[in-house]
Structure 1
């Protein structure tokens, strides 16, 4: 008897979702919602044949419990649409926009490909990761960070990831240090592209930007305007990627959050530090706040290193059993599906 290798649990969840979507495909999939060229949006109370089409489409994927064929946009339809938006990487809104209808119109065959691609990605993850009592996972296309403890979600934070030109890399590591009031050691590429031209125009450029020369390199002094914010979280890796705070808080309000040079910016860094340090009674929130605002760099070494996995999943079944799809922000799905389907 051949014993099959045990997989990362997400593999089996996606496999079940694949069966459901293949059944939908077998039954004819879903119809394309037809809109006029001047379509703007729909809100509660609006009446349109488009509403009936949306209702029928949502019923196919069980986002709405019944299809009563009504052409009036009621609160039941809007609630179902918000549920759909939430599990397709959108911030739920009180209006149905064209981008939402375009998403609804993605054919079931494309959704099936996305599920298959992400089942393949599950093969690359060691299932032993889930046996750890506590670990951190970041899903790049979801723009979210999770702490998983004893199989349950203990902490969630929105994140900003690398833009298409400076992609955040996929890897796993072990978090070992938290650095409070950090210096930011400016990468050579930024020194050449931004700082040197700035200095050529203004002799006080470094001072204005809170920068200083440091052994032939440039670093930014600690403080609230530091590019790394007030705290960073280190897990040694060859790409020099880490988690950190940021003074650019407004970016977390965006629906799509691919703006960084490659590192992962955390919306709730103080809360993350508190969560990671709750095992050390000497580090209460007051002491963490003091260290974050000290204006002087200090390092804390974690008593027990924490596994960190930064992954790239455009389809993911959450712990409530909902299948979620996220935009392929780095355009990786197509090349992988080609590899998987080549004869």
Structure 2
């Protein structure tokens, strides 16, 4: 669909969009939409996203379940839909220039509108649409009702006012008890730090990211610093392996020396025989020839791998 030629503002362009396009944009702008980042455009704080995250959102099962939206079956169709949505200015392509001074982590980064409004999965797009106005209207209506209910509190029935009073007192009591518990556990920790070798925390998981019940389990615990992992175990094991290998090599060397002496004795006596001495080290059979006094006879000797390498 061609871009509206006579659009004078972003709002006018958005109003000209077909209803199915608006439904798709509402989905992208909702909770299931692409990941939102914060930036600064023309001195105002804005929200922007990356193109590939929008494509991934259109291919999600949540979008496939929607009705009255443009169908998207593959990545090419998702990109084509994003191209069709660009002329209606729900979002516009923006560049993220390199700042002159480094920006701290977590701070909004500066943006500027791109002169070329095309779709690229690796590019950034800034939202100029705040979502469906229905939720805005409902939220505003709810706030008005709450304010009217508070103003008209003296006109409430007596039983209802008493119930609200007890409820508010109970909530304030819980908040006060929680704050008092935090102060007590801190005071106890300070006392145990000064009087004992190890400090004690009561309800150590009180401020941890756990469930409500797990926040009070265990009831108390010693405050022990976190120990760093030591790499000495691996080094010791490596040393032990080296010692074991050197011990095996020395044993095999002694066995090979005994074999050579025994084989030379038989060769000088003129008897040709197979000599085999078992040893715990791995061995390799190599044919060798020795010449005795009465003639030459082949004598097969079993030598270790280490001896073969030395020869």
Fold shared, TM-score > 0.5 on shorter chain? no
After TM superposition, the score normalised by the length of structure 1 is 0.17
Higher helix share: 2
After TM superposition, the score normalised by the length of structure 2 is 0.18
Higher relative contact order (CA 8 A, sep 6+): 1
